[in-house]
Amino acid sequence: MSPDTLLAACRFLHDGALMALWGCFGYLATLVPEGLAKEVSDKLAASRLAAAGLAAVTTLLALPLQAAIIGEGWPDAANGQMLMDVITSTSVGKAWLAQLAGVVVVVIAQFLAVRHRLAATAATSGLALATLALSGHAVMQEGWQGVAHPLNDMLHVLAAGAWFGALLPLLLVLSAFGQPPSRAEASVALRRFSTAGHWAVALAILSGVANSFFIVGWPPLGWGSTYRVLLTAKIAVVSVMTALAILNRYWFVPRIRRDWAAAVAAIRTGTLAEIGLGLTAILLVSIFGMLDPAGLQ
């Protein structure tokens, strides 16, 4: 297997783990009533630790993989001098140091007192997620675009992560509708998710459109390069996700008062579909983020 393929896999796992942590624990810390938030957080404890560990491992693996890609193949992945050269002499290495620092604080947050852990996990994973904008296409421009593009990319990954990451705890919130003592808190959490979701979806789409403009111009759709083909596929996937989110919000959520069991079951099905589509979108970005937008790879 080539270093490029393994690096794309690392990017997928790394980005997915950080998005899950940021969106999941940001939602629980800010929008879910405290009692229900603690209950859901306890159920996600193993997933939280696994995601933090996965983000750390993929960060450590990324450096030797980058060295192998920049250098002359697999031997340079274990070449100490090559690794040091990548860190000190390339923008990739400097971005990796920032990403490493971000992941370190995510791991530290997992050892804080329980009462601080929710907010700390959300804040540190958001910081780590933002460092992803310090590498790749976002830093390949100069002038005002060299400033605006990375900032827009940070907004994009944070908004998309807030949307995607909150879907997993939302499934557990929906399960709480079947427990009468928790139903009132679950209803509040669902309403707040629906309201905040408008902003997250809108910001993710608008910043994604701006990113496409920065990289390939307008319109972004096309078949002239592998990059454009995969970008077009991502846009299609996100469009279906958006349609499902709108269907849940404006068709099924209002029906909870009349038939909560059927409405919640429908929202759960739609949420599971959104998770699958979100993972597909992250995978596509992990691949085309390593390609030349103008190339014919």
Residues 27, 22: Cα–Cα separation, whole Å: 8
81 DSSP assignment: H
With a cut of 50, say whether residue 296 has pLDDT above it.
Answer: no
Model confidence band, residue 227 (pLDDT cutoffs 50, 70, 90): confident
Task: Compute the average pLDDT of residues 111-116.
Answer: 90
DSSP 25: H
On the CB side of 289, CA atoms within 13 Å amount to 25
Q: What is the pLDDT of residues 5-32, one digit of tens each?
A: 999 999 999 999 999 999 999 999 999 9
Segment 56-67 shows an average pLDDT of: 96
Q: 159 with 203: CB under 8 angstroms?
A: yes
Is 126's pLDDT higher than 80? yes
- For residue 174 the two structure tokens come to 């929906």
Residue 294 has pLDDT above 80, yes or no: no
Contacts 24+ apart (CB under 8 A), 146-149: 148/214, 149/211, 149/214
Q: What is the DSSP string of 159-215?
A: HHHHHHHTHHHHHHHHHGGGSHHHHHHHHHHHHHHHHHHHHHHHHHHHHHHHHHHHH
Average pLDDT on 100-122 reads 95
Question: pLDDT tens for residues 129-179?
Answer: 999 988 877 666 667 777 888 899 999 999 999 999 999 999 999 999 888
The whole-number pLDDT of residue 295 equals 60
Contact residues for 26 (Cβ-Cβ < 8 A; gap 6+): 122, 126, 162, 165, 166
What is the rounded CA–CA span in Å between residue 157 and residue 48? 19
Would you say residue 218 has pLDDT above 80?
no
Is residue 44 within 8 A of residue 24, CB to CB? The reply is yes
Q: What is the mean pLDDT of the chain?
A: 91
Query: Where do the structural domains in the chain lie, given as residue ranges?
Result: 3-288
Confidence (pLDDT) at 297? 43
Percent of the chain with pLDDT over 70: 95
Q: What is the pLDDT of residue 177?
A: 87
DSSP code of residue 31: T
Look at residues 244, 201, 181, 153 and name the one whose alpha carbon lies nearest to residue 36.
181
> Based on C-alpha coordinates, what's the Rg of the chain?
20
User: Considering the entire predicted model, what is its pTM?
Assistant: 0.93
